[in-house]
Amino acid sequence: MINATSHHAAMSVPHRDAASGSARPGFCQAKPVWRLNGEPRQVGSPRRRSLFGSLVAIALAALPGVAAAQPADRDWSLTLGAGAGLVPDYEGSDDWEIRPLPVIRADWRDTLFVDGLSAGVRTRFADDRVTVGAIARYDFGRDESDNGALRGLGDVDGSVELGGFVRGQVDIFTAGLTVVQDVAGGHDGLLAEGEIGIAVPVDRRIRLTAMASATYADDSYMQSLFGVDAAQAARSGYTAFDPSGGIKDVGLSAGGTYLVTDRISIGTRLSYTRLLGDAADSPIVDQAGSADQIAGILFVGYAF
């Protein structure tokens, strides 16, 4: 059964070479959320899940560049659009929700960029084959009202993540690494997100992409998102669980974009993520959810 609730939803469109890896999506006004095989949750939670942000970033990294559609003397670019995603309602859940997704990406002189609630600066080397930069991004955290499995665990506050990235590209192959640290007392942790991918232009309008990824999370992140302390155990009924840092997940994704006109693109992406180690052993995953995380997205973008 599908139930309609309300939730703040968001989306970002990473720059084609921003290399922000799992750049978090932007924020918009409250939108309806359709829940699949899960309990209705409270209305108005402005929280974000990391898996959802990662899916959005990976999916829209495939969006074609818009430089060809711009005057040669213009210093800026802007892409706006919308879409919908089917995602787990928290990282490790076996319930899904369908969420509307506004799209925004802005760029100035191929140096400063804004992708929803991510922003940064970059520079290129080696004939534009290597990109390095700094990034700041925001994650809205998690509400215990997101799912019945989270009751008694409390909320995870929003995080301001600061860090850097490096990305390399050789022909149709890419590789990147993003490292960020929360500095706002949300999950308090460090994340290192690596990826390798391939982008194949079938013709001037169709582009197919595939990517493999892995994420390292430190002790603080793991405790915030997957741990159960003594007080939480007493409230929730779960056994206390103290996870350690390590490789949190690995994933595969594939999709494609179609250039309808020089300015309008449509695309889709499917993603599979496997939680590993203590993330998979957490009670909210092992007992109440699933280590297998499947998600999908469909979107359209317009380049101004």
Return the domain boundaries, the chain. 2-303
C-alpha triplet 218, 211, 65: angle, nearest 5°: 110
What integer pLDDT is reported at residue 40 of this predicted model? 41
Choose from 37-51, 81-95, 136-150, 268-282 the range with maximum mean pLDDT. 268-282
What integer pLDDT is reported at residue 60 of this predicted model? 54
What integer pLDDT is reported at residue 194 of this predicted model? 97
pLDDT in tens, 220-241: 999 999 999 999 999 999 999 9
What integer pLDDT is reported at residue 29 of this predicted model? 31
What integer pLDDT is reported at residue 83 of this predicted model? 87
**73: Cβ–Cβ under 8 A, 6 or more apart, which residues?**
none
> Average pLDDT in the 5-34 region?
36
pLDDT in tens, 135-185: 999 988 899 998 999 999 999 999 999 999 999 999 999 999 999 999 999
> Average pLDDT in the 274-278 region?
98
Closest CA to 146 of 9, 233, 49: 49
Tell me the pLDDT band of 50, cut-offs 50, 70 and 90. Answer: low
In Å, how far are 69, 82, 184 from 28, measured between CA atoms? 27, 11, 21
pLDDT in tens, 99-146: 888 788 899 998 999 887 889 999 999 888 999 999 999 988 899 998
**Distance, CA of 101 to CA of 109 (rounded, Å):** 26
What is 2-303's CATH number, 3.10.520.10, 1.10.3660.10, 2.40.160.40, 3.40.50.300?
Answer: 2.40.160.40
Residues present in the chain in total: 304
pLDDT in tens, 200-209: 999 999 999 9
**CB hemisphere CA count around 293 (13 angstroms):** 29
> Average pLDDT in the 41-63 region?
50
Q: Name which of 59-68, 234-243, 282-291 the model is least confident about.
A: 59-68
What integer pLDDT is reported at residue 53 of this predicted model? 59
What integer pLDDT is reported at residue 228 of this predicted model? 97
What integer pLDDT is reported at residue 67 of this predicted model? 40
For the chain, the farthest-separated pair of C-alpha atoms sits apart, in whole angstroms, at: 63
Q: Is residue 58 pLDDT above 60, yes or no?
A: no
What integer pLDDT is reported at residue 32 of this predicted model? 38
Residue 153 phi/psi, 5-degree rounding, is -90, -15
